[in-house]
Amino acid sequence: MPSSEVDRLYQLPLAEFTAARNQLAKTSGDDGAAIKALEKPNIAAWAVNQLFWTKRKIYDALIAASEQVRAAHVKQLSGKSADVAAAEAAHHAAVKAAADESRRILAAAGDPATTATMSAVIETLQTLPTHDEPGKLTRPLKPLGFEALAGFVPGVRAPRPFPAPPKKETKPVDPKVSAREAAAHEKAAAKHRADAFSRSRKMLALRRKPSATPTTRWWRSSAGLPRPRRSMLAPKRSSPRSPRSCAGFATNSVPPNAPPATLPTSWRASSTPSRTNAGSRSRSAYHPVSRS
């Protein structure tokens, strides 16, 4: 693959990348398939690439400042004295200068330097340098974490990625067996629906009967169990006392505290109080007087 021709692709304006790549793939012979597979950079990666191709001095200053920051952190982690604050300040200034130059490159190319685009550019500048080939980025980079120190501090290794889950071996399914299983499943589901419908109808019928109580409903719904006697379900209550027995009158009762004017002439107050029931309060009652 001609490296000079490929380098020229990444230096072209972003709108001309696809056409120039396809044309180069046609004239490259055996390398045409590899050139055809080259990915077009997005706007943020293209702006950082142009720093490498057109503003190499600013790009190299950024890389040097980033390496100084990493070296200062390595010294501090190793227990040695290092001016980490000064290294970070220099790196921050280098990132700002590179971001301003990237904004000017985008403006000159007629591409909008939106907030999202500049955020991606600044994150890429803060991440440099990486193992990617400089000047040929296709996507923005993300700031590195603990794995950035791998290879600098003795005993520090980059975390290994989680292994991919093993693929499950799928056995060929016999269509006859699957059809029988589907029919059995459908039959069981139909039976379950029929039983549920039958139970709901029985419960509805029990609720509509006025004489049914929760206890009798339970006994009726339990198949095969003897129905209990009425005394077990709901004991029969004694009838309420009549006004006569409460007041102790032999005939039509009159309220015990009625004024004399309202009493019949055939009634008079007894001299002794009468007790109507055992344990009740004693009070005077009116008894009929036989007329001579």
Confidence check: pLDDT of 190 > 70: yes
Q: Which two tokens stand for residue 291?
A: 């007329």
* One domain, residues 6 and 32: yes
The pLDDT of residue 4: 84
In a domain, 79, yes or no: yes
Instruction: Place 98 in a pLDDT band, splitting at 50, 70 and 90.
Output: very high
Whether 109 contacts 125, CB under 8 Å? no
Q: Check: pTM over 0.75? Answer yes or no.
A: no
Tally of domains within the chain? 2
Note whether 47 and 25 are same-domain residues.
no
Name 268's bridge partners: 287
Q: What is the pLDDT of residues 144-166, one digit of tens each?
A: 654 455 444 444 444 455 565 66
Segment 179-192 shows an average pLDDT of 86
- Is there a single domain that holds both residue 7 and residue 62? no
The helix (H) or strand (E) run that includes residue 144 is none
Range of the domain at 117: 41-149
Number of helical H runs and strand E runs in the chain? 11, 2
